[in-house]
Structure 1
Amino acid sequence: MLVLAGCSSTPAELAYSPESALLAYPQALTLDKQLIGQPVRWSGLIVASRVKADHTEIELVYLPLRSNGIPQQQEQSPGRFLVHVTGLLDPQLYAAGRSFSVLGTLKQWQSGQIGEQPYQFPVVDAQRYKLWPKLKEVEVRYVRDPFDDWLWPPRP
């Protein structure tokens, strides 16, 4: 049992106890001001990174976390959120399309836009975070053996 727990555990930089105290992303969409200061562990795909005077702001499309802390790739998302990280994170490394996970607290909601649509972004004040390695796509091709029909009788 310990072996299985070790295989699916969250990375140390994203660990939080008790996990039941973490605020779920859909709860933050209610814009309930009583949620400010609650701990969160969210993840997603980076849309943009913007360097501000004293922090870096990362805009993400929310994706649910797998048990190992990696964002689960899928075609649907309930929304977006912003992460504020103290200091400079290079936008070339924290670039659009990269997977990112954060552990922090819900700081506020910030008005903004997605395209021309107004949007209320939940803002996370990051305490710890992880930029996941780029996924490498592997192309798999099936090559049919040209002698398959010659060596073996035809299949029914």
Structure 2
Amino acid sequence: MSSTDGDGPGPELSRNLVYLLKHAQLRMAELGTNALTPYGIDGREMGVLLALADREPASQQQAAQRLGIDRTTMVALLDALERKGLVARRPHAEDRRRNVVELTDTGKETLRSAIEANDDAEREFLAPLGAQAAERLRRSLQAIVLRPDGRRT
């Protein structure tokens, strides 16, 4: 059966950017989920760990801003990561009303392993493109999503 018989997206839909981005994201999410499951985290939690890694301890609000998520969602994610022993919160030294969040040693080790697994998943996802085209895609998406200063558009 050919795609004109109804089993594929067809020529118009297969050129539609929203369709392509959605299905690319679904495929990458599936690969990422499979890669991260052994480490007990999901993609959103990995995003939080990455936002906190290699930086001064951040406030919950700063971490939420880095990820572009609301405060309530950030609190829920941090609660889950704290229960898993991957992050620790403590009052800010100068402003006791704010919490500072940082990775625990377990969180740092989990993140290191999760990054390796996620990198493998990304390589699998991008394999059909070849190395140069994969890097062009990554740079192109960065140009769309990030401003020159590295912040989101």
Q: Same fold (TM over 0.5)?
A: no
Structure richer in helix, relative to its length = 2
* TM-score between the two structures when normalised by the length of structure 1: 0.30
> Higher strand share goes to which structure?
1
